[in-house]
Amino acid sequence: MPRRIPDKIIALLVLLAAITIAAYVFFSISDPVSYFISASFFFIGIVVSYSIASTAGFDAALMHFKEVIIGSTNIGLTSIKKLSETPPEELSKRTKSSFKFLGIAGEKFLRETLEKVDFFRRNKNPDLVKIMLMDPFSDDLERLSSNKKLQTEYRNKIIATIATLAKLREDGYHFEVRLYPKKPPLRLLIIDDCVTALSVYEADSSGWKNAQLIFDGKNNDDSLAPYFVETFDDLWERGININLDQRSKALSPYLNGAKSNNRDKIGMVHGRFQPFHHEHFEYILHGVANSETCLIGITQPNINCVSECEILPHRGTPEGNPFTFEDRKRMIALSLERWGVPPERYQIIPFEIDNPEVAIPHLKQDHTADIVHYIRLFSNWELYKKELLEQAGMKVIAFQPLHSDFMMKNVTGTLVRELVSSKRNWKDFVPFGTKQVINAAMKRGA
CA atoms within 13 A on the CB side of 310: 2
CA angle at 155 for the pair 150 and 156, rounded to the nearest 5°: 95
Average pLDDT of the chain is 85
Predicted pLDDT of residue 315:
84
Residue 146 per-residue DSSP state: S
Average pLDDT rounded to a whole number, residues 272-288: 96
pLDDT at 366 over 60: yes
Average pLDDT rounded to a whole number, residues 66-78: 62
Strands 291-298 and 346-350: parallel
pLDDT band with cut points at 50, 70 and 90 for residue 201? confident
Strands 187-191 and 264-271: unpaired
Least confident of 109-118, 199-208, 310-319: 199-208
Least confident of 15-19, 66-70, 91-95, 384-388: 66-70
Average pLDDT rounded to a whole number, residues 244-273: 86
> How far apart, in whole angstroms, are the C-alpha atoms of residue 115 and residue 109?
10
> How far apart, in whole angstroms, are the C-alpha atoms of residue 431 and residue 434?
6
Query: pLDDT tens digits for 17-41?
Result: 776 676 666 555 556 666 666 667 6
pLDDT at 316 over 90: no
Contact partners, residue 196, CB within 8 Å, separation at least 6:
188, 189, 190, 214, 215, 216, 217, 224, 225, 228, 229
Predicted pLDDT of residue 57:
55
pLDDT at 289 over 90: yes
Average pLDDT rounded to a whole number, residues 288-298: 95
Least confident of 71-80, 222-231, 246-255, 272-281: 71-80
pLDDT at 55 over 70: no
pLDDT band with cut points at 50, 70 and 90 for residue 8? low
Q: Which residue has the higher pLDDT, 34 or 278?
A: 278
Predicted pLDDT of residue 174:
97
Predicted pLDDT of residue 54:
56
Predicted pLDDT of residue 213:
87
Average pLDDT rounded to a whole number, residues 343-353: 96
Predicted pLDDT of residue 23:
64
pLDDT at 64 over 60: no
Q: Which residue has the higher pLDDT, 128 or 83?
A: 128
> How far apart, in whole angstroms, are the C-alpha atoms of residue 410 and residue 279?
8
Average pLDDT rounded to a whole number, residues 119-148: 93
Predicted pLDDT of residue 218:
82
Predicted pLDDT of residue 24:
62
Predicted pLDDT of residue 223:
83
Query: pLDDT tens digits for 225-251?
Result: 888 999 999 999 999 999 999 899 999
Predicted pLDDT of residue 78:
84
Query: pLDDT tens digits for 211-226?
Result: 788 888 887 777 888 8
Predicted pLDDT of residue 369:
76
> How far apart, in whole angstroms, are the C-alpha atoms of residue 113 and residue 125?
16
Average pLDDT rounded to a whole number, residues 112-118: 94
Predicted pLDDT of residue 161:
96
User: What is the identity of the amino acid at 382?
Assistant: E
pTM of the model: 0.80
Query: pLDDT tens digits for 166-194?
Result: 999 999 999 999 999 999 988 999 999 99
User: What length does the chain have?
Assistant: 446
Query: Could you tell me the CA-to-CA distances from 113 to 37, 94, 118, 174, 184 in Å, in that order?
Result: 44, 11, 9, 13, 21
Domains of the chain: 7-74 (no CATH), 83-244 (3.30.870.10), 260-445 (3.40.50.620)
Q: Which residue has the higher pLDDT, 201 or 411?
A: 411
pLDDT band with cut points at 50, 70 and 90 for residue 409? confident
